[in-house]
Amino acid sequence: MNTNLSSSAPSQLETDCLVAVVLDRCEKDQSEKDKPAPSIECADSAVREAAREVISSGEVTGKTFETTLLHRPTGLQAKRLLLVGGGKAKNFSAAELRKLAGAAVRTLKGKNIRSFAFALPQNGVAAPDAVRAIIEGAFVGNFDPGYYKSDRNDKDKDQKIDAVTIVVPGDPKTLEGAMHAGRIVAESQNFARDLTNEPSNRMTPTIMAERAQKMASDVGLKCEVHGADKIRQLKMGAFWGVAQGSEEPPALIVLRYEPQGAAKNVHLGLVGKGVTFDTGGISIKPADGMEKMKYDMAGAATMIGVMRAIALLKPKVKVTAIICATENMPSGKAQKPGDVQIAMSGKSIEIINTDAEGRLILADGLCYARQLGCTHLVDAATLTGAVVVALGYVNTGIFASDDQMYDRFANANQQAGEKMWRLPLDDEYKETLKSNIADMVNAGSRYGGAIFAAMFLKEFAEDTPWIHLDIAGTAWMEENKPWIAKGPSGIALRSLVEFVKGWEQ
């Protein structure tokens, strides 16, 4: 998708469709009740005039995601005017704007429109933030997961937006940086969604490693890929315990970003769960819904995408990503309940349930990150069904061992407009890790399952400040939404990129 900035008056711009935001600046009526007062957020009076009639008809309320399309709007050079509702003016922020841009793209591409212009609303959101949000939302909205539909490349049917122009007040030059940054982040998010969307026969650990290597050479990152021999040589017994059951070789992928002038005392480590298919292993999952377990590598995809964005945005902070990629399969070689594995750190683990495999591979990933000298760790993983029970499909679960690090992350998360909710890591939960035969079990009671998994990981992050993101409920959109298609979401990428940038000296 081409991206442009224009300083033309919105009414004078020739485009297939001009998009304007409508907010509800609700007023009190005589009985002090809220009464909707839709307002077109555009300084150009000709645009407001073109929409006056449809607004006064009461058809447009400004409700979030309400869309109204006018043809040949009077007084405008645009062929169409699309009004997109953004909800109550007092609640409007860059996060809402991002979604509106996605909704505009999804509305227009469904009508075979290929290009449009978005009039920057001027109300509270600073212009650079608004430009970024619109670009990010537009790219996210343009992603279509129907990869293997045979008519996908049919020119008449491939519904995609080819170009977006943002109409800004003043000198567009001052906003080019924001547009560029938004584009890098959004394309990296779609890159992560692309990896996640592939089925497991087309996204094996080997293919994931090749994709990471290709990306690394495109953007100038160092990438190493290690196989089974190195995993065993590093004594990654927990990772290998999972990988040993599969015919597909595992991959340990290390991506390094080491800019000149970075602070010596900060080295961020990003660890991703890359289970390219999770059958559950010997503790096999039920058939119903098992096809979804192709997205059990979404955490890995997110971290690979974050590294892409970082390599292009170039913040001065050292970052290493460690991706543990494997299938989780039942076979004659698979680990079995009751088996004991010795993790890289030396701790022993009694395998109670082979379906609790994510925490095993991450245990060694976290330990390896510490060995490589990382001073702060973040992992992202589709780790537990229990986090979906706790938070549904709306919020990602965050766990943090260090309040200062959490504050930084929460700040970045706020900027990125992704919903996350902190869950506890009290010492009392540690009881449930106890094993009769080993240092710990890999699975315990059904209750507090997401917390148990996080407590397990904490044993391997040890005293290194660490954040764990359980994205099991948020990495895959269960339904189409106005701003994003059903399928992989690329969740956590934007927060992580913002978080990394926050450490820049």
Length of the chain: 505
Burial of 127 (0-12, 13-18, 19+ CB in 10 A): middle
275 touches Zn ion by CB under 5 A: yes
**Whole-angstrom Cα distance, residue 174 to residue 323?**
38
Site of tokens 């119903």? 288
- Residue 384 binds which entry of Zn ion, Mn ion, ligand BES, none, with Cβ cut-offs from 5 to 8 Å by kind? ligand BES
Span of 102-110, 228-236, 260-268, 379-387 interacting with ligand BES by CB under 6 A: 379-387
Q: Which positions from 177 to 216 touch ligand BES by CB under 6 A, shown as an x/- string? A: ----------------------------------------
358 touches Zn ion by CB under 5 A: yes
CB of 383 to ligand BES, least distance (A): 6
Q: Which residues are tagged catalytic? A: 285, 359
327 touches Zn ion by CB under 5 A: no
Q: Judged by CB, which is closer to Mn ion: 25, or 285?
A: 285
Residue of 318, 464, 468, 295 lying closest to 397 (CA atoms): 468
Burial of 22 (0-12, 13-18, 19+ CB in 10 A): buried
**Whole-angstrom Cα distance, residue 90 to residue 85?**
14
305 touches Zn ion by CB under 5 A: no
**Whole-angstrom Cα distance, residue 424 to residue 407?**
15
CB neighbour burial string for 176-206, b if at least 16 within 10 angstroms, e if fewer: eebbbbbbbbbbbbbbbbbbbbbebeebbbb
Residue 217: which H helix or E strand, with range? helix 205-219
252 touches ligand BES by CB under 6 A: no
List 24, 96, 278, 379, residue binding Mn ion (CB under 5 A): 278
Q: Which positions from 426 to 455 touch Mn ion by CB under 5 A, shown as an x/- string? A: ------------------------------
Burial of 175 (0-12, 13-18, 19+ CB in 10 A): buried
327 touches ligand BES by CB under 6 A: no
Residue 183 CA to chain centroid, in angstroms? Answer: 15
Q: Give the CA dihedral 148, 210, 236, 294, nearest 10 degrees.
A: -10
Q: Judged by CB, which is closer to Zn ion: 276, or 432?
A: 276
CB of 274 to Mn ion, least distance (A): 13
List 66, 198, 278, 498, residue binding Zn ion (CB under 5 A): 278
335 touches ligand BES by CB under 6 A: no
List 472, 491, 497, 500, residue binding ligand BES (CB under 6 A): 472
Span of 20-28, 73-81, 255-263, 349-357 interacting with ligand BES by CB under 6 A: 349-357
355 touches Mn ion by CB under 5 A: yes
The site for ligand BES (CB under 6 A) is made up of 278, 296, 353, 355-358, 382-386, 388, 443, 449, 472
The site for Mn ion (CB under 5 A) is made up of 278, 355, 357
The site for Zn ion (CB under 5 A) is made up of 275, 278, 296, 358
